[in-house]
Amino acid sequence: MDGATIQNRVYFGYAKAAQRIGLAYDLYRPLSPTAPMANKVGTLMAALDSGPGYQFKAPNEYGDPTWFALINDATTQPGDYLVGPGGTYFVAGKQFLLPVIVVECNRIVHLSRIPAQAAVGVGAYSTGAPAAAADVLTGWPASILLGGRGESTGTGLPSASKNVGWKILLPPSVTQTVNAGDLIIDDLQRRYVVQGAEYTDLGWRISAVEEHA
């Protein structure tokens, strides 16, 4: 028996178990950067556990968006979204013979980019015009949780607060590059400036600070 056959049998076992204990979730596969939830692939059963052993003994805790999905993995791809009674999740990873990792999404985000203006004058200084910001992503469910390094507001006053640091996760189906300096706005109209972004095999991991009006 080869590895592919074993993997298919694992998928079959997951699907049988999900049919018994899971709930119905709609499956979406993003095809457009501006309409990621427009392509519904189908509906399937899924059960989500906080641990990889599928023992369903411990609840998830604050600050951890990662879950392990008991699901018919033969029908899903990394970057797909699951929408159902438990919320919205994206499929982060399907690693060989290992549990499927999904990430719980608590916000919907838009990402825009301010193009740099042509350099003028001595010293080749250039900047961007906020009014000229162009949408890169629109309507993507994402995980946004407190974390990362805050940033001083620059006032120097004893009572001054810092811009709060956040960690933002987006699925591997986001093929557009996320750059430092990009602006992310969520459905609560909070604004985040990207400090750094890393694309991994589980999707985008972004460090950002909240921008105050």
Flag whether the pTM goes above 0.95.
Answer: no
Q: Domain limits of the chain?
A: 3-105, 107-211
Residue 125 has pLDDT above 50, yes or no: no
Secondary structure in 3-state letters for 84-143 = ECCEEEEEEECCCCCCEEEEEECEEEEEEECCECCCECCCCECCECHHHCEEEEEEEEEE
Is the pLDDT higher at 49 or at 213? 49
H/E run at residue 170: strand 165-170
Q: 69 has which bridge partners?
A: 48, 100
For residues 87-107, give the mean pLDDT: 93
Q: What is the CATH number of domain 107-211?
A: 2.40.10
> Is the distance from CB of 67 to CB of 49 less than 8 angstroms?
yes
Is the pLDDT higher at 62 or at 40? 40
Cα separation, 69 vs 67, in Å, equals 6
Asked which of 62-71, 116-125, 141-150, 203-212 is least confident by mean pLDDT, the reply is 116-125
Q: What are the Cα distances from residue 167, in Å, to 53, 114, 137, 197?
A: 26, 21, 17, 10
Asked which of 29-43, 120-134, 189-203 is least confident by mean pLDDT, the reply is 120-134
For residues 150-163, give the mean pLDDT: 54
* pLDDT band for position 162 (cuts 50, 70, 90): low
Is the pLDDT higher at 169 or at 62? 169
